[in-house]
Amino acid sequence: MAYFPLTSRRAFLAGTAALSLATLAGCSTTEVLAPPGSGSDETDTVLGLINKLRQSRGLGPLVRDEAAAKAALSQADRMAKAGKMSHLIGLTDSFLGRMKSQSVALPAAENIAVGQADAAKAFDAWVHSPKHLENMLGPRYSGLGVAVMRNPKSGNHPYWAMVLSSPPVMDMPAAG
């Protein structure tokens, strides 16, 4: 066993501790965290657009659904972190499982998009896609959540998610 004078032993231990901390600091998770402020809830912006569309087709309006808005933000965030547009990210991902775990009233649907500069352009892309339009005009849906998220580590592209849900519509109290 080597003998170190007390001062050298302390220096050695301090150096080892610093090296261990540096190693731990270099550890990372598999998720890339998006910087704060790189995402936003766009539900209120899209709500007027989608309700105008639904009214033109004789359908009732949608209302803001907080659970759907949170689920949309979560999905936009997941796509931005992964750097890809996909409903399912990961081997065990499930749309139904995600909606249930986020308390989104079922039935539900999800529209996604990438690259549109603002909410109106994302909405326009969905209107011009038959399957996305079908979701937006679904008569079973009464709730809406829309979000966008960007992640500089995945190209800073805007990733959009819309969640349509079926929360019970609350009747407005009668004017008295």
In the three-class reduction of DSSP (H, G, I as helix; E, B as strand; rest coil), residue 113 is classed as: strand
Report how far apart the first and last C-alpha atoms of the chain are (Å, whole number): 92
Q: How confident is the model at residue 14 (pLDDT cuts 50, 70, 90)?
A: very low
| Cβ atoms of 54 and 60 closer than 8 Å | yes
Q: What is the per-residue pLDDT for 114? A: 94
CA 126 from chain centre, in angstroms, equals: 17
Across the range 39-46, mean pLDDT stands at: 95
pLDDT recorded at residue 147: 97
pLDDT score recorded for residue 106: 96
Please tell me the distance from the alpha carbon of residue 80 to that of residue 114, in angstroms, as a whole number.
Answer: 9
CA neighbor of 76 nearest in space, from 34, 117, 107: 34
